[in-house]
Amino acid sequence: MIALGCDHGAYALKEKVKAYLLEKGHQVEDFGTYSTESCDYSDFGTAAAHAVASGQCERGIVLCTTGIGISISANKVRGIRCALCTDPLMAELTRAHNDANMLALGAQITGDMLSLCIVETWLNTPFEGGRHQRRVDKIKALEQE
């Protein structure tokens, strides 16, 4: 199950990502927003992040105009490693090296087609483990301080 969350500035892109995910056979939990009416990205980013952190959803994708605010919000939830990616290489490396469990996209930064390529790469790249596990464990330990 993939959690989705966005603000009004990324509503249209979220709907395209959602349709793409469903077309590819993924289950989706949509935490909103559900329109282009002005709202606060943090409400929807943290709702999706809590679903991932609790295990309700395996991974999450959050979107806002730039992807910055919603990624910051998601990363405030313990257990979340949300990466803002603007190209497929970033998506590949954040999965392979950081075991990112959430992806952030900026609707006005990446176009629809590039965003879908980023999503596809992020979903299909496994975590490498090995030396990267040590580093992810150190990030996890910071949450215990």
Q: Is 26 a catalytic residue?
A: no
In angstroms, the Cα distances linking 101 to 3, 63, 73, 127, 128 are 10, 14, 14, 10, 14
Q: Tell me 30's DSSP state.
A: E
With 90 as the cut, is the pLDDT of residue 144 above it?
Answer: no
Please give the model's pTM, rounded to 2 decimal places: 0.96
For the domain made up of 2-142, the CATH class stated in words is alpha beta
Q: Which of 26, 39, 97, 117 is catalytic?
A: 97
Tens digits of residue pLDDT in 106-138 = 999 999 999 999 999 999 999 999 999 999 999
Angle (deg, nearest 10), helices 131-142 and 88-98 = 80
Q: Which of 6, 8, 50, 64 is catalytic?
A: 64
Half-sphere exposure in the Cβ direction for 82 (13 Å, CA): 31
Please check whether residue 70 is in contact with residue 7, taking contact to mean a CB–CB distance below 8 angstroms. yes
Q: Is 97 a catalytic residue?
A: yes
